[in-house]
Amino acid sequence: MAKKIGLLTSGGDCGGLNAVIRAVVSRAGMLGWEVIGIEEGTHGLLARPPAIQPLTTSMFDGDILRRGGTLLGTTNKGNPFAFPMEDGTKKDRSGEIIEAYKSLGLDALIGVGGDGSLAILQKLAAQGGIKFVGIPKTIDNDVGATEFSVGYATAVDVATQALDNLQPTAASHSRVMVLEVMGRDAGHIAIAAGIAGGADIVLIPEIPYKMERIAAKISRLRDLGRNFALAIVAEAVPRIEGTAAETATGRFGGIGRYFAQLIEEATGAESRVTVLGHVQRGAPPSPQDRLVGQALGVAAVDTLAAGKSDRLVIWQNRDIIDVPLSDAIKAPGAVDPNGLMIRTARGLDICLGDN
Ligand code: F6P
């Protein structure tokens, strides 16, 4: 039976979202289904009339697959169950979203989001009787169930390239270069880029560090005749006394500068910091993210076509499967301190702050 489905992207943007959209539209088109794009996540369903754009396959003939960002727009603010109002109060606006969804005559919804957005979308779907399938995206790669979320590979590419670009200048000036990367509470970007980019020191929130170990690593490198060092630090790594480096808006930020200073004090090595920030999110999607995004997009439509709902499509063991949404998002996926990445890093004598 022909269906009309809604599609939205929610939470922080990342590389590969347009690839997901393209795949959903393409697969749905093959089934004779209509796709209505909802703008700026759930905000599009709070607008009156709802902010939507019909999506057709011909829109994707050009360069959209290759572009960063999301053509639908997104938001990582404004939980509809506690929506911040102008007068400073919080209001439950979930009913308005469900009402708009119904007014559009949609049969199902596909939402692309991280764990926070997916939890909100699941709650809305349960309340409104909406058939819902989720697709995991986040540069942080911390949606527990999936091996890869859309956007992660691009962020790792950008961070690796930053280390590639820092190495020559570090060597030219005999400096320690500290690169601060995103990742929210997880160290996935830092550890993967650290290994790929040949970092000497990788600090992630999952592994407690000691400043003496970091200083000792730098002196070992000196003893070997090395005049520079590369360090990568995940934004959520706490300061020595245990507090997180946060900006005034409650976002992480500043731990790179903190370490650059500590390293100078502890070793006398001249240090500089680079804070990579949102270039990890807005870069053109890597081939891996275009692949993961399109595979998940096709699978999401097929999951709905199979009559399933309240599922998350995930990448696991060289395949895509769908799993119950609640199970998939119940625990954030941190870096496993005994997992492959950490074993590899230790095998390469990368200093993780505890060795
Ligand atoms: O969750 C994705 C992410 O990029 C985190 O890595 C980072 O801490 C946060 O979003 C930044 O959020 P904003 O775009 O609101 O500054």
Between the CA of 233 and the centroid of ligand 1 the distance, in Å, is 15
Tokens of 198: 């040949």
Same topology, domains 4-150+285-316 and 154-281+337-347? Answer is yes
Q: Could you tell me if the CB of 251 is within 6 A of ligand 1?
A: yes
Between the CA of 296 and the centroid of ligand 1 the distance, in Å, is 22
Q: Could you tell me if the CB of 27 is within 6 A of ligand 1?
A: no
CB 354 within 8 A of CB 208: yes
Q: Could you tell me if the CB of 346 is within 6 A of ligand 1?
A: no
Q: How many CB atoms lie within 10 A of CB 250?
A: 7
pLDDT for the residue numbered 173: 98
pLDDT for the residue numbered 159: 98
pLDDT for the residue numbered 1: 65
pLDDT tens digit sequence for 266-308: 999 999 999 999 999 999 999 999 999 999 999 999 999 999 9
pLDDT at 251 over 80: yes
CB 214 within 8 A of CB 266: yes
Tell me whether residue 331 is exposed, middle or buried, using C-beta atoms within 10 angstroms of its C-beta: 0 to 12, 13 to 18, 19 or more: exposed
Q: What is the CATH number of domain 4-150+285-316?
A: 3.40.50.450
Q: How many CB atoms lie within 10 A of CB 321?
A: 15
Q: What percent of the chain has pLDDT over 90?
A: 95
Q: Which of 61, 63, 115, 140 is catalytic?
A: 140
CA 227/CA 35 separation, integer angstroms: 57
> Where does the pLDDT of residue 62 fall: very low under 50, low under 70, confident under 90, or very high at 90 and above?
confident
Q: Is 107 noted as a catalytic residue in this protein?
A: no
Q: Could you tell me if the CB of 155 is within 6 A of ligand 1?
A: no
pLDDT tens digit sequence for 209-238: 999 999 999 999 999 999 999 999 999 999
Between the CA of 123 and the centroid of ligand 1 the distance, in Å, is 22
Amino acid residing at 234: A
pLDDT at 54 over 90: yes
Q: Please, which residues have CB within 8 angstroms of residue 343's CB and are 6 or more apart in sequence?
A: none
**What is the mean predicted confidence (pLDDT) over 348-352?**
98
Between the CA of 284 and the centroid of ligand 1 the distance, in Å, is 17
Query: Average per-residue pLDDT in the chain?
Result: 97
CA 211/CA 231 separation, integer angstroms: 13
Between the CA of 278 and the centroid of ligand 1 the distance, in Å, is 8
Q: Could you tell me if the CB of 113 is within 6 A of ligand 1?
A: no
Phi, psi of 318 (to 5 degrees): 65, 25
pLDDT tens digit sequence for 146-187: 999 999 999 999 999 999 999 999 999 999 999 999 999 999
| Minimum CA distance residue for ligand 1 atom 14 | 12
The ligand 1 atom at the shortest distance from the C-alpha of residue 278 is 4
Q: What is the CATH number of domain 154-281+337-347?
A: 3.40.50.460
Amino acid residing at 101: Y
Q: Could you tell me if the CB of 152 is within 6 A of ligand 1?
A: no
Beta bridge partners of 150: 137
pTM, full prediction: 0.97
| Minimum CA distance residue for ligand 1 atom 11 | 251
Mutate to test the pocket of ligand 1, among 13, 156, 184, 246 (most ligand atoms within 8 A of CB): 184
Alpha-carbon 332 to chain mean position: 12
Tell me whether residue 291 is exposed, middle or buried, using C-beta atoms within 10 angstroms of its C-beta: 0 to 12, 13 to 18, 19 or more: middle
pLDDT for the residue numbered 247: 80
pLDDT at 45 over 90: yes
| Minimum CA distance residue for ligand 1 atom 13 | 12
Per-domain residue ranges for the chain? 4-150+285-316, 154-281+337-347
pLDDT at 331 over 90: no
